[in-house]
Amino acid sequence: MKSALKSRIVSAVEGDLEQIEAALSNNLTPNLSLVKDIAGHLLFSGGKRLRPLLFLLSSRLCDYPDDLAVRFSTLFEYLHAATLLHDDVVDRADMRRGKQTAHATWGSPRVVLTGDFLLARSLTLAAETKLPRIIKVIANITEEMSQGEIDQLEKKGKLDLTEAEYMAVIQGKTAVLIEGACKSGAIIAQAAGEKEAALCDYGHHLGVAFQMADDLLDYTADARTLGKNPGADIREGKLTLPLIHALAQADEGDRRWMEKVISDKEFNESDFDGIVEKLHLYGGIDYTESRARDHVEQAKKSLEIFDDCESKNIMMLLADYAIARNV
């Protein structure tokens, strides 16, 4: 079922993805080959291009001509890649998408600066739109993301993280950029305010659902599918919704045991299996799935004001895919 959904989406957007791919390469014009290497390592390592695609689909839903939109769409992938590069440095993660991270290969200094370069690249493209409101969205995304990351850093290892705090973290970490891509699609097409608001809502709920699904994968996927080590979030001291919910529901003995495992960064595989068991026992997995499904439904509902069309269809499928994907 999952893979059927994926094939339907892929065949519907194949042409768009090819154009986005070409534009990503054409618009990346650093003077230094090293920057191209580092940026390319991440940019061309099999990302889903979700953000440019959402910008493109949103702009199309508001009747903006495609030829310009493709070029501008790349700014959201550059921005995404910039934040991933800085996150790698911040998290000191060694693996991402199954590959060694850039900072493990090139060292933090080069990676920080390449992130800055990609941020600047996305800014240059934003300036080309000649729409100050787009620039404002991009600036806001960057502000919120940097503050969100610091917020997450400060909360590392916090065992009594609340669901509200978790929601604030994933808003800054994921939702703000996806929301910004959809919103910008409406702005560039100079769509009516209600369409812009609807696309904002869609992007917000989609982003939240995507991140919740991603956080579930850390407990449910095997390492090969995930391209990282399962349990990486706990090891990094990041409490996500499945665990937050289970901790809140657990009896005292189980809660203490779970807190001990989380605090002990050297826990072994059977400890991790034990944690996963508790997540099921106390409904952490089910609860997160159900919250993610709610957000998918809200995302789809946001699109009601648009007439039926191919772009809307794809965006509805993408919302379903947010929680159905296994990669």
In the numeric block, which tokens belong to residue 234?
């706990």
Distance of CA 321 to the CA centre of its chain: 13
182 binds its own copies (CB under 8 A): no
Shortest approach of its own copies to residue 132 CB, angstroms?
A: 4
Question: Which listed residue (12, 112, 248, 324) binds its own copies by CB under 8 A?
Answer: 112
Q: Select from 203, 211, 179, 231 the least CA-distant residue to 292.
A: 211
Q: Does 292 bind its own copies (CB under 8 A)?
A: no
Number of residues near its own copies (by CB under 8 A): 45
68 binds its own copies (CB under 8 A): no
Among 14, 18, 63, 116, interactor with its own copies by CB under 8 A: 116
Q: Which of 64, 72, 117, 166 lies at the binding interface for its own copies (CB under 8 A)? A: 117
Work out the angle at residue 241's Cα, subtended by the Cα atoms of residues 239 and 246, and round it to the nearest 5 degrees.
90
Smallest gap from residue 81 Cβ to its own copies (A): 14
Q: Is 140 in the site for its own copies (CB under 8 A)?
A: yes
Give me 58's structure tokens. Answer: 């949103």
Regarding 208 and contact with its own copies (CB under 8 A), the answer is no
Interatomic CA distance for residues 117 and 85, integer angstroms: 11
CA 196 to chain centre: 21
Q: Do residues 230 and 271 touch, judged by C-beta distance below 8 A?
A: no
Does the footprint of its own copies cover residue 260 (CB under 8 A)?
no
The SS3 call for residue 240 is: coil
Nearer to its own copies, 146 or 290 (CB): 146
Q: How far is the CB of 102 from its own copies (least distance, A)?
A: 13
Tokens of 208: 């939240």
The reply on whether position 113 binds its own copies by CB under 8 A is yes
Question: Hey, what's the torsion of the CAs at 171, 305, 132, 138, to 10 degrees?
Answer: 20
Residue 232 within binding range of its own copies, rule CB under 8 A: no
Contact 325, 216 (CB under 8 A): no
Q: 171: which DSSP letter?
A: I
Is 34 a binder of its own copies (CB under 8 A)?
yes
Residue choice 41, 49, 51, 86 for contact with its own copies (CB under 8 A): 86
Dist CA 191 CA 124 (whole Å): 23
Residue among 189 and 292 whose Cβ is closer to its own copies: 189
Part in contact with its own copies (CB under 8 A); list of ranges 60-68, 134-142, 250-258, 260-268? 134-142
Beta carbons of 91 and 154 less than 8 angstroms apart: no
Tell me which amino acid residue 206 is.
Answer: L
Does 35 bind its own copies (CB under 8 A)? Our answer is yes
Q: Work out how close the CB of 251 gets to its own copies at its nearest, in angstroms, rounded to a whole number.
A: 35
Q: Closer to its own copies at the Cβ: 19 or 114?
A: 114
| Coil, helix or strand at residue 1 | coil
Tell me if 71 contacts its own copies by CB under 8 A.
no
Q: Examine residue 126 and tell whether it contacts its own copies (CB under 8 A).
A: yes
- Which amino acid is located at 314 in the chain? I
5: contact with its own copies by CB under 8 A: no
Q: Find the shortest distance in angstroms from Cβ 146 to its own copies.
A: 4
Contact call for residue 157 and its own copies (CB under 8 A): no
Which residue is it, tokens 């979700």? Answer: 50
Residue type, 24: L
Q: Give Cβ neighbours of residue 27 (< 8 Å, ≥ 6 apart).
A: 71, 74, 78, 121, 125
Instruction: Name the site residues for its own copies (rule: CB under 8 A).
Output: 30-32, 34-35, 86, 89-91, 108-110, 112-114, 116-117, 119-121, 123-124, 126-133, 135-136, 138-140, 142-143, 145-147, 149-151, 153-154
